[in-house]
Structure 1
Amino acid sequence: MSTPSHIRVALPAAPALVAGMREAAWLSEEGEIERLSLKEAGRRLRRAEACYLVHAGATAARLGVERPTRGFDLLELFAFVRPARFCVPTPRGLAEALSLPMPESLEDAPTGLLRAAHGLLTTLGREAGEDNQAPRIAGAMARGGWIWGPAVLSALGESEEAVMTRAAASGLDVWRRLKEWSEQAPPPPAGDHGIDPSDARRRLAELLGDGAEERPGQADYASAVSAAFAPKMTEGHPNMVLAEAGTGVGKTLGYIAPASLWAERNEAPVWLSTYTRNLQHQIDRELDRLYPEEEEKRQRVVVRKGRENYLCLLNLEEAAAGVQVNGADAVPLGLMARWAGATRDGDMTGGDFPSWLTDLLGPRRTSGLTDRRGECIFTACQHYKKCYIESGIRKARRADLVVANHALVMVQAARGQLDLGGRTTRLVFDEGHHVFDAADSAFSAYLSGLETAELRRWLRGHEGRSRGRARGLKARAEDLLGGGEAAAEALEQVLDAAHALPGDGWMARLAESRPQGAGESFLAALHALVYARAHGRDGPYGLEIEAAEVGEPVLETARALKQKLDRLIQPAERLAALLHGRLDEEADDLDGATRVRIEQVCRSLKHRLVDTVKAWSDMLLALDGETPAAFVDWFAVERIDGRDIDVGMRRHWVDPTLPFAETVAAPSHGLLVTSATLTDGSGDAESEWRSAEARTGAVHLPEGAIRARAPSPFDYPNHTRVFVVNDVRKDDLDLVAAAYRELFKASGGGALGLFTAISRLRGVHRRIAGPLDEAGLTLLGQHVDALNLPTLIEIFRAERDSCLLGTDAVRDGVDVPGESLRLIVFDRVPWPRPTILHKARRKHFGARAYDDALTRLKLKQAFGRLVRQQEDRGVFVLLDPMMPTRLTGAFPEGVEVQRVGLREAVRGTREFLTG
């Protein structure tokens, strides 16, 4: 490990520790390697003054001890030296990211940590001349007690004594060094030139390049979906295409081909929408083929998410100012400043922000710095011209392709902010099987304690407290009133009416039977009724009951709350009208920044207050009469591990694709809804397509949708096996755990275990972690490990022989090509949960056929994770002897579903994957 003479690398003397599943490796300061029990490793970690490790939280959790406060966490050093870059948070992941020798065993891993530390510090010193902000930020972190501070300052050639004389927050002001965006003239309206199928094929060939593998199905798919980009002929009649593309077809490039051509020819953006953030960034990476030059891609491609996903610079500045009081905050804020100076777009969820940073630094100084609460003050903010969100909004107006998600597209469309029918006329919904769920969330209403308390805080601020930037509507809008008494009076009436909403501490007051105000009284009555009627009150999960025959206590409080809510709506509408009037009456006098702020406040009053409160008022009115046929109402108590966290009344559309069709689809000129799993595999092709049309809103459009299907090119009969195990009792967790253990060992890892309940997942993890470790297999667990889900998936993807236990979120979010995923084990048939909402939809959409369709889709989606590229092989196992034959259509044609005992399934898995 030679180091250039001008770089001073001084590794602090400390032991190094790496924890496995059953044992740990310890490297002493003298260089002695030992294998220890986890108990002994935990004892040494508690006694050590400091220790080198990777991911302090996960290490401590595995050892069963508190997280060390003095740990040389290599991830912190990596985040400082390589900001806005990702590494898998394991010893092997660090070694790979730094091009160091890979540790071959547990005993090799601690030495690898020292190599990584030395390499990172050397790199920092070598690049110091090009990075003049690193010394300033490192100095601030060192003054805050950063354990890496002295070593980092030494590598940078900084004097520790000189650094300590600077102001506490000096160096954290990264916002001063960011570039401003600039306004441009409005772009021209979109053109109306369609895309010929042959042109889509040619563009696809260009994207693939010379020598690419021939995929006739991909070219056929690109040709078929180009129909979504034809000119619109009749108002309310968009060109809608439903396209199912089997795994391996290459649908992403297939629709990018016509979409990019349309955007170029018509000088307007196409929005590419996905359900998961993970796929947003997969699409973004695919677009490197279209725009290999980074600068051109920055201009032509924008990734858009909701405001709550982006770093707020004003929040960062105010947090940095607090370092004067709490010096330790300089450490997480320093790492945030390093990232903020290097990030592409300020996206903290799935972009270039390492997901493990939130685990390391805590949510308060990471995700807590986003604009999560609707407190943006827009042009009144001194960082407005540097704001990541505002910059992204403006880039999207001029981009060719905007990569968004279903939730954002639907909310923006509902608020009239997608400009449907203007420049944004074409939409692509990838992961189209989730359109129903996304619409269900976007168009629902929830009158609950958390929601109402949040609205009160947005209106009235923190009411005497000085926490954060929640200054309330008066502080944000008072200077926009223009001196008019009517507007000032309306504002005061809004704030006064907000007293009826629950305030801070509402849940504690409910528990003590002393509610305050109309809102809390209603919630208290609901809470009592739910606990009187619901089943499973002693269990860990949430409770729900139908909103029927609710009784006088609930009705009386509902009437009182409705009256108060109506008093909130009226002055809010009047205030918005008066503010909007200023835009017309003072058109010649208002400067641009003030106009923007007035427009933003008016929009916020409408969407965040008036529309929301009107929906709540309608829900309360229905308690005195009848719920409209299009909706389902019910009462719920939300719980986590048996602890109440929220209570309220929910309203969902029975068919949420109805508002989706009216609000999103019909105003567009063309939309493509595509997925590998649009149809459910019932065996009746026409019935399958009708079901897909019902779940995507096509049935509500005058001309329906064009249907297209491109089958998978993979040889599933020869590359996969499906076993239904018929001799494991699914209600005996010991037997279920034994099955997982033996199947995982048979595959040699690369195994994903899926569960329908978190409690079952945890129970199996507890039973098999040790035996798998003895077999040399690492077991990861969602809701078990002190790692967030994106980090778990990254580790699983990188560690070829690891195993992962997870829930539906893993099934939907994992994309692991190659041998890292070669076995999927499902604990039971994933029937829909028997909720009140599902009961109503089951009646509406077709009883048992509806249940079967949803279940087949889940099985189909899970199976689709197994084979992601031509040479992949995989085994799918269902530990449920009650699996009906009618559900086997979820699996590809030609794949035999073998009903066998566990012994045969284990042997078959081993022979197939190792043969």
Structure 2
Amino acid sequence: MTARDDAGDRYCHRVTPATTTSTASAPAAPPRSAGRSGNGRPSAAQLLAAAVGAVPGGAARPGQQEMTTAIADAIRSRHHLLVQAGTGTGKSLAYLAPALTVDGPVVVSTATLALQSQLVEHDLPRLADAVEPILRRRPTFAVLKGRHHYLCLARLEDSAEEEPTDLFDAAGDNGAGGGAGSGNGGGGTRWLGAAGRLGKQVQRVRDWAMETDTGDRDELDPGVDDQVWRQVSMPARECVGAARCPYGEECFAEASRFRAREADVVVTNHSLLAVDMLAGRHIVPPHKLLIVDEAHELADRVSSAAQAELTPEVIDRAARRARPLLPPETAEQLTEAGDALAVGLGESPAGRLTSGLPPALHEACTLLESATRAALEKIGDIKADDPDPVRKQQAKSVLDELSTTAQRLLDEAEHDVAWVEKPDGPAANRRALVVAPLSVAGTLASHLYEERTVVATSATLALGGRFDTVARSLGLETAAPATEQAEAVTDDDLSWRSLDVGSPFDYPKQGILYVAAHLPRPTVSGLPAQAGEELLSLIGTLGGRTLGLFSSRRAAQQAAELVRARTGLTVHVQGEQALPLLVRRFREDQASCLFGVMSLWQGVDVPGDACQLVVIDRLPFPRPDEPLAAARAAAVDAAGGSGFAAVSVPIAAVRLAQGAGRLIRSTGDRGVVAVLDSRLETARGYGAFLRRSLPPFWYTTRPEVVQGALRRLAAS
């Protein structure tokens, strides 16, 4: 029995034919009126009160109530809303309660898997239990992810037959012999058997396919390598569509979209939301209310979705995939274009291309654009009687994307930024030619707000005490008033308001912001010697319990070596082991420290006594060699403004606020945020702006004061 026969027998009796309806043509979910329409409909405040009351020891929080009221008002008056809600506000329930007053699906988008899991596994089930008696029905919710998160039964069948491109590369082969026809099933099977570990993973996926109800990769435990998953999943651009796919009626991705259309609350992520906007809003089900949590990250995710790149490896894989469908000379043109790109990337230094494409890269893109256009013409359209429409669509989609990217680079549009990427570390051999939009504010203004109310929330939206910087980045061009932040603002029919509900934490009594103003301005990479001595003094006084947030891996490693050599404390360094394991060990051992770089600035939640000192080595401005940030700053400078003030300072403000926010995570937390960069005190203008972007800790620059506070914490 083939994989298709086996899988089809397993699934055809379980998934209803409705799952084959494409999202683009699907009607909106039927109205869910029970307990939600008419004069007897519960208010958002009532739903919130029920949810809070169902929590043991739950108590009303003024900021949470204020946020719920503001969102309910935004829904009624159809204006957009920016809400800054500090840690401890309980913002998830604050926006989920009014969401249940809306007919039809409500979409909640998050930036991190941690928050998505919290919503789906904790907040939404608890809310559904609490409000069911009031609504006289149980609200439903669903998770919506990109197609590549789901097992594809068509790819699962083909994985035993097709040329294993990604797995082939992972095995360390240089691609010799890659031209063998993909129809030779024995070649792929023999290679998988030789691969050992990866071959076993593929077989485990096959076994799991017979058991899973969702096909969601996150439910495959233990997981599999990315190379393996790429062989059994289908990116959206390569999908032939349920109507043409032999597995359309059993498709896991289509089933997930069907569930989303029928749910009250749909939880998705910023990346898929960005793709949805760029693709014409046909992936996420139609809805009247969109809630964007962790909204400070949305613009960056949209930029990433609009970014494209060319690599020799991708061109080589595209050529191998398309070769059975092409004349030999056309396939050879693709290979020659990949070789030309490899040469051009080898000759070009890493960094932004400020004067257009160098001649070698221009020639490579010209060859690629011509070769892909010729290949697409030879492949032609997918017809009803095509024997293998799935593979044909895969080949066409990759070629079309390569062609579009090559043409985009050749056009050298003013609104695009191009650069050569040559990463350090494990990926040092990788070379890429990358292009990304200079700004996505226009895209967001055009596609984010149309025909729906948008509520954007985060703990870091009011930078420098104002919402105007974030509002501009989200496509809301007019600045909110500085004094009456809840006043409505209209710009090109985009009516919006802003609100800061604060935090239930008493920051001036719970935490100290200490700036080591006596240290010299940092000028060299890594950890300066005087900053290292200051770090030792602070950690030594407290005896551990320190989260170190560093601007570079080199600085984090130097700090770890210093503390290990001069104290008896255990120091965990990001990258030495899996991050969840390091965080757990840090939480369990108070005589320990956890040091790391940018991903720790947002991803660590350690309430209690395990983390009472957060040390930040320097202000987290973007590096001068970050192509997008540098290009955006240069554009502002060219227009007569200050690129540093308009681009670099807001980026640093968000990062700094997120990092400092690691300290106080509950009402009982106490501690110190220590910044070893004197510019936070001494820099005129932006120093004060950055401090206003932080929680209102008690502020000092006096070492003896912070040392005394740390001694008291250690004694307690």
Contact 2:80 2:453 (8 Å CA) reproduced: yes
Contact 1:444 1:653 (8 Å CA) reproduced: yes
In the TM superposition, what are the counterparts of 1:253-272 in structure 2 within 5 Å?
A: 253-262=93-102, 266=103, 268-272=104-108
- The correspondence for 2:60, drawn from 191, 202, 214, is 214
CA 798–201 in structure 1, closer or farther in 2 if over 3 Å, else same: farther
2:393 and 2:592 map into 1 onto residues whose CA distance is: 49
Partner of 1:181: 15
- The correspondence for 2:123, drawn from 282, 286, 309, is 286
Partner of 2:576: 784
* Residue 721 of structure 1: how far off its partner (Å): 0.9
1:756 and 1:739 map into 2 onto residues whose CA distance is: 16
- The correspondence for 1:825, drawn from 598, 604, 615, is 615
Partner of 2:273: 409
1:897 and 1:437 map into 2 onto residues whose CA distance is: 31
CA 733–332 in structure 1, closer or farther in 2 if over 3 Å, else same: farther
Could you say what secondary structure the match of 2:287 adopts?
Answer: coil
Partner amino acid, structure 2, of 1:897: Y
Partner of 1:443: 306
Partner of 1:813: 603
1:556 and 1:331 map into 2 onto residues whose CA distance is: 43
Partner of 1:694: 472
Partner of 1:678: 461
Partner of 1:242: 82
* Residue 218 of structure 1: how far off its partner (Å): 0.9
In the TM superposition, what are the counterparts of 1:363-512 in structure 2 within 5 Å?
A: 370-371=233-234, 387-416=251-280, 418=282, 423-457=286-320, 459-460=321-322, 492=326, 497=330, 499-502=332-335
* Residue 720 of structure 1: how far off its partner (Å): 0.5
Greater Cα shift, 337-346 or 870-879? 337-346
CA 632–745 in structure 1, closer or farther in 2 if over 3 Å, else same: same
CA 204–195 in structure 1, closer or farther in 2 if over 3 Å, else same: farther
Point out where structure 1 has 5 or more consecutive residues left out of the alignment. 1-168, 233-238, 464-471, 475-491, 503-516, 532-542, 583-589
Partner of 2:422: 637
In the TM superposition, what are the counterparts of 1:80-91 in structure 2 within 5 Å?
A: none
Contact 1:272 1:403 (8 Å CA) reproduced: yes
CA 344–797 in structure 1, closer or farther in 2 if over 3 Å, else same: farther
Could you say what secondary structure the match of 1:288 adopts?
Answer: helix
Deviations 1:760-783 (A, max 9, x none): 2223333434666x34x4x32222
Partner of 1:849: 645
Partner of 2:431: 646
In the TM superposition, what are the counterparts of 1:903-914 in structure 2 within 5 Å?
A: 905-912=706-713, 914=715
1:353 and 1:822 map into 2 onto residues whose CA distance is: 37
* Residue 890 of structure 1: how far off its partner (Å): 2.4
CA 752–612 in structure 1, closer or farther in 2 if over 3 Å, else same: same
* Residue 411 of structure 1: how far off its partner (Å): 0.8
Could you say what secondary structure the match of 1:819 adopts?
Answer: coil
CA 423–798 in structure 1, closer or farther in 2 if over 3 Å, else same: farther
2:230 and 2:409 map into 1 onto residues whose CA distance is: 33
TM-score between both structures, scaled by the size of structure 2: 0.76
Contact 1:314 1:383 (8 Å CA) reproduced: yes
Partner amino acid, structure 2, of 1:437: D
Partner amino acid, structure 1, of 2:253: I
Partner of 1:871: 668
2:230 and 2:400 map into 1 onto residues whose CA distance is: 28
CA 689–212 in structure 1, closer or farther in 2 if over 3 Å, else same: same
Contact 1:195 1:226 (8 Å CA) reproduced: no
CA 205–798 in structure 1, closer or farther in 2 if over 3 Å, else same: farther
Q: Is 1:898 the counterpart of 2:700 in the alignment?
A: yes
* Residue 394 of structure 1: how far off its partner (Å): 2.0
Partner amino acid, structure 2, of 1:548: S
Contact 1:680 1:854 (8 Å CA) reproduced: no
Could you say what secondary structure the match of 1:808 adopts?
Answer: coil
Partner of 1:711: 502
CA 899–231 in structure 1, closer or farther in 2 if over 3 Å, else same: closer
Contact 1:439 1:657 (8 Å CA) reproduced: no
Could you say what secondary structure the match of 1:214 adopts?
Answer: coil
* Residue 453 of structure 1: how far off its partner (Å): 3.7
* Residue 659 of structure 1: how far off its partner (Å): 1.6
Partner of 1:564: 371
Deviations 1:457-479 (A, max 9, x none): 5x42xx6xxxxxxxx8x5xxxxx
Contact 1:673 1:696 (8 Å CA) reproduced: no
In the TM superposition, what are the counterparts of 1:878-893 in structure 2 within 5 Å?
A: 878-883=675-680, 884=683, 885-886=687-688, 887-893=690-696
Point out where structure 2 has 5 or more consecutive residues left out of the alignment. 161-187, 478-490, 637-641
1:174 and 1:793 map into 2 onto residues whose CA distance is: 40
- The correspondence for 2:554, drawn from 754, 759, 764, is 759
CA 248–524 in structure 1, closer or farther in 2 if over 3 Å, else same: same
Q: CA RMSD in A?
A: 4.3
- The correspondence for 2:407, drawn from 597, 612, 617, is 617
Deviations 1:277-332 (A, max 9, x none): 11111121211212249x99998222222233345567778689889777777976
TM-score between both structures, scaled by the size of structure 1: 0.61
Relative contact order higher in (CA < 8 Å, ≥ 6 apart): 2
Could you say what secondary structure the match of 1:524 adopts?
Answer: helix
Partner amino acid, structure 1, of 2:593: C
CA 790–401 in structure 1, closer or farther in 2 if over 3 Å, else same: farther
Partner of 2:355: 548
In our comparison, the structure showing a higher alpha carbon Rg is 1
Greater Cα shift, 304-313 or 705-714? 304-313
Contact 1:272 1:427 (8 Å CA) reproduced: yes
Contact 1:762 1:783 (8 Å CA) reproduced: no
* Residue 386 of structure 1: how far off its partner (Å): 5.2
Could you say what secondary structure the match of 1:872 adopts?
Answer: coil
Could you say what secondary structure the match of 1:698 adopts?
Answer: coil
* Residue 273 of structure 1: how far off its partner (Å): 0.5
Partner amino acid, structure 1, of 2:353: E
2:427 and 2:144 map into 1 onto residues whose CA distance is: 36
Greater Cα shift, 882-891 or 805-814? 882-891
Could you say what secondary structure the match of 1:867 adopts?
Answer: coil
2:194 and 2:676 map into 1 onto residues whose CA distance is: 56
1:750 and 1:335 map into 2 onto residues whose CA distance is: 41
Partner amino acid, structure 2, of 1:259: A
Contact 2:156 2:232 (8 Å CA) reproduced: yes
2:127 and 2:671 map into 1 onto residues whose CA distance is: 32
2:94 and 2:30 map into 1 onto residues whose CA distance is: 23
Deviations 1:475-512 (A, max 9, x none): xxxxxxxxxxxxxxxxx47x96454335xxxxxxxxxx
- Aligned identity (percent) is 25
CA 735–212 in structure 1, closer or farther in 2 if over 3 Å, else same: same
* Residue 400 of structure 1: how far off its partner (Å): 1.3
CA 891–194 in structure 1, closer or farther in 2 if over 3 Å, else same: farther
1:419 and 1:373 map into 2 onto residues whose CA distance is: 10
Could you say what secondary structure the match of 1:291 adopts?
Answer: helix
CA 451–680 in structure 1, closer or farther in 2 if over 3 Å, else same: farther
CA 321–402 in structure 1, closer or farther in 2 if over 3 Å, else same: farther
CA 371–601 in structure 1, closer or farther in 2 if over 3 Å, else same: closer
Q: How many residues matched?
A: 637
Q: Is 1:226 the counterpart of 2:72 in the alignment?
A: yes
Could you say what secondary structure the match of 1:613 adopts?
Answer: helix
Contact 1:413 1:664 (8 Å CA) reproduced: yes
CA 637–175 in structure 1, closer or farther in 2 if over 3 Å, else same: same
Partner amino acid, structure 2, of 1:631: D
Partner amino acid, structure 1, of 2:86: G
Partner of 2:441: 657
Contact 2:619 2:652 (8 Å CA) reproduced: yes
CA 425–844 in structure 1, closer or farther in 2 if over 3 Å, else same: farther
Partner of 2:381: 575
* Residue 527 of structure 1: how far off its partner (Å): 2.9
